[in-house]
Amino acid sequence: MATPEATAMIGAAQLNQDTVGLEIASPGDGGFDMNWWPVALSGEVGPEQIIDRHFLGGDVVIWRTASGLAQVSTAYCAHLGAHLGEGRVVGETIECAFHNWCFGQDGNCRYIPAPHDHIPASAKIFGYPTAEKWGIIWAFNGDVPSYEVPSPPFVNADSYDILADHAGGSDIAPFYAPISNIFDLQHFEFVHRFPGAVLSPDNLPDRPELDIGPHHMAYRQTMGGGVFGHLKVWGTNGLTATYIDEETRVITEIFVFATAPRPNGTGFDAYQVLFRRKKNDSPEDRAKGRAQLEKAWAAQLYVASQDDVVLRRPHFRMRNFTKADRWLKQFIEYVRDYPRADPGGSFQ
């Protein structure tokens, strides 16, 4: 049994942690979180097209091969450093406009046009592991993905219409701030005025515990109004939410949400995908589905605008946690301890 003195020391240590707060390193300090990051909408990169973006402390090119595959690569040629955004796509490679060196999706130089010349072993750019899903092009910050692209359960892509688009962002709040909201139960009452909102995890009707893994945090919970929700964070920047009618067991709403840090390391850009189950593949049903998705999008933006009010100009601090903040604190600790890397940094 702990002595009163030991108990007091433990209590003081806990109080100090809750009061002083938890520190999360800024993006780029020790690398960037090893996430699937959204970098562009699928429709922004046409056949054999190249666009460029700032990404995780450097520049990347997002290009589509002749066979239609999307690829995210560091933007500077391994020869003399010309920007590959000025080049072109040749087959399954991207060609530098300066001396026509060609690089594959894996980053290796595939071709040098100079006669009788050999390809240096170190002639490489970095090809981020790239996936195209839900109308978004994603890049994984690492050599090998450690989890799959955020995907809601129960979804067969062929059975759903989807609407993917940019979903705003913030100039100040960190990229994980909007993700943290699903663990901040109090804000559902005070920011969104949701009817029947519960202020503490201990008061939820199902008394769920968080499912926490190396690359996810999730919970399943009766949300009120006869709706059951499954919410899951992927990495530190992705969220999937699925809501099911408890009586009919019909899925009523599905969405994917993901963020990426802005170039200066402060603020974020957001992407969102909404889903609507198809009735059939007729033009009438497609038009109806589009209208329903646009209506749902407007509703989502309205809810997001309520968060914008408090995320517009905060000094985002993580301290003075209370018992009701238990889940939120667990999420902040998860983000703090999440693995980082910068595989593309040496290619900039």
CATH of the domain at 83: 2.102.10.10
Q: What is the pLDDT confidence band of residue 16, given thresholds at 50, 70 and 90?
A: very low
What's the CATH code of the domain at 318? 3.90.380.10
Whether this model's pTM surpasses 0.95:
no
**Average pLDDT across the chain, whole number:** 85
Residue 122: predicted pLDDT: 96
Q: What is the pLDDT confidence band of residue 15, given thresholds at 50, 70 and 90?
A: very low
Candidate from 184-188, 253-257, 313-317 with smallest mean pLDDT: 313-317
Please check whether residues 297 and 168 belong to one and the same domain: yes
Residue 35 lies in a domain: no
Residue 135: domain span:
45-140
Residue 98 lies in a domain: yes
Contact, 273 vs 152, CB < 8 A?
Answer: no
Decide which of 34 and 247 is more confident: 34
Whether the per-residue pLDDT at 129 is higher than 80: the answer is: yes
Please check whether residues 135 and 167 belong to one and the same domain: no
Q: What is the pLDDT confidence band of residue 194, given thresholds at 50, 70 and 90?
A: low
Please check whether residues 170 and 280 belong to one and the same domain: yes
Structural domains of the chain, count = 2
Please check whether residues 173 and 87 belong to one and the same domain: no
Please check whether residues 206 and 334 belong to one and the same domain: yes
Q: What is the pLDDT confidence band of residue 19, given thresholds at 50, 70 and 90?
A: very low
Residue 6: predicted pLDDT: 45
Q: Which of 140, 165, 181 is the last residue of a domain?
A: 140
Residue 19 lies in a domain: no
Whether the per-residue pLDDT at 190 is higher than 60: the answer is: no
Residue 146 lies in a domain: no
Please check whether residues 209 and 128 belong to one and the same domain: no
Provide mean pLDDT across the span 130-154.
Answer: 96
Q: What is the pLDDT confidence band of residue 44, given thresholds at 50, 70 and 90?
A: very high
Please check whether residues 99 and 247 belong to one and the same domain: no
Residue 69 lies in a domain: yes
Q: Which of 71, 106, 140 is the last residue of a domain?
A: 140
Please check whether residues 283 and 248 belong to one and the same domain: yes
Decide which of 300 and 199 is more confident: 300
Q: What is the pLDDT confidence band of residue 253, given thresholds at 50, 70 and 90?
A: confident
Please check whether residues 103 and 162 belong to one and the same domain: no
Please check whether residues 117 and 172 belong to one and the same domain: no
Whether the per-residue pLDDT at 248 is higher than 50: the answer is: yes
Please check whether residues 57 and 177 belong to one and the same domain: no
Residue 291 lies in a domain: yes
Provide mean pLDDT across the span 206-233.
Answer: 82
Residue 136 lies in a domain: yes
Residue 102: predicted pLDDT: 98
Please check whether residues 180 and 317 belong to one and the same domain: yes
Percent of the chain with pLDDT over 90: 51
Provide mean pLDDT across the span 201-206.
Answer: 61
